Amino acid sequence: MSDPRLVGERALVTGATGFIGAAVLERLRPSGLELHALSRTHAPGDEDGVSWWRGDVVDGETLRRIFTSARPDVVFNLAGETRAARGLELVAPTFEANLAGAVNVLGAAAEIGCRRVVLSGSLEEPDDVYGLSVVNLRLFMVYGPGQRDLRKLVPYTILALLRGDPPEVSSGERGVDWVYVDDVADAFLAAASAEGVDGASVDIGSGELRSVRQIVERLTQLVAPEITPRFGAVEDRRFEQVRVADTQATAASLGWRPVTSLEDGLSRTVDWYRQRLAEGAFAV
């Protein structure tokens, strides 16, 4: 995908080795942008057309040095705490990575005159933050190949089935808006160049609800129909919200709609995990 409005600009992806960050970085490769990537773990240096920087968004001083050197026109902030657990031990690291980290990114971007910052749900309504053009993407339930947190429902269920084990899940009654990771990456590119969206918060989802039970049952059909999932083996989480993305509003503001059907997305995801498992990944 190439957008003539982005050609020749510099882009920085934070959290670039994460599930969504890696997908966004891959989607940016043919865009005509000069690419920079920030990670806490990847070795710094140039690799396959990407300039890698090592750092953490919670380290404001290091972040400012990186921004001053890379001087990105567009920043895609995908660094943050993504674990889904509700334990009190995650409150402090989640606050630090998702809120304080996002503030550091915004501050560093403002100092160098960055044209646009695209956030992934880190702030509620980022209207005129530091005088920046900021777009906040409210991501719904992202799934797809490359999800490294194997505790998440889709990779957990697929791998359990591939190993011949019945997945142990909740009652499955909760309805969720599922969206494929490559479609999400395309939404970030659209947000980088869309006009008239400064300060907007935009839904990134499919616009349809599918229950957890439906997802687990479909994955079972794709992988091991002879296995019966154990619904109710895990207690349902309390206070889970049920929301569906407003895709019409998103199409009007970004010109973006998801293009991957749930059936195709789940099939591609199963194929990816099946291949990686056969290659010896995900060893227990």
**3-class secondary-structure state, position 224:** coil
In a domain, 80, yes or no: yes
In a domain, 149, yes or no: no
Separation between Cα atoms, residue 259 and residue 248, nearest integer Å: 14
Show the domain range for 86. 7-132
In a domain, 255, yes or no: no
Pairing of the two strands 134-139 and 116-119: parallel
- What pLDDT does residue 98 have? 66
In a domain, 171, yes or no: no
pLDDT tens column, 59-78: 999 999 999 999 999 999 99
Tally of structural domains, the chain: 1
In a domain, 121, yes or no: yes
A 10 A CB-CB count for 9 gives 18
- What pLDDT does residue 239 have? 78
- If phi > 0 it is left, if psi is from -120 to 50 it is alpha, else beta; for residue 73 that is alpha
Separation between Cα atoms, residue 134 and residue 197, nearest integer Å: 8
In a domain, 113, yes or no: yes
Residue found by looking up tokens 């070795």 in the block: 43
In a domain, 26, yes or no: yes
Task: Note every long-range contact of 115-120, with CB atoms under 8 Å and residues 24 or more positions apart, other chains counting.
Answer: 115/9, 115/73, 115/74, 116/73, 116/74, 116/75, 116/191, 116/192, 117/74, 117/75, 117/77, 118/74, 118/75, 118/76, 118/77, 118/188, 118/191, 118/192, 119/77, 120/20, 120/77, 120/78, 120/80, 120/188
- What pLDDT does residue 123 have? 41
- What pLDDT does residue 97 have? 60
CATH of the domain at 106: 3.40.50.720
In a domain, 153, yes or no: no
249 to 180, 252, 256, 257: CA distances (angstroms): 19, 5, 10, 10
DSSP assignment of 54-87 equals E--TT-HHHHHHHHHHH--SEEEE--S-------
**3-class secondary-structure state, position 187:** helix
Cα atoms in the 13 Å half-sphere on the side-chain side of 210: 19
pLDDT along the chain (284 residues), means of 10: 79 96 95 94 92 94 96 93 51 60 92 94 54 91 95 97 97 96 97 92 96 98 98 90 94 97 98 95 74
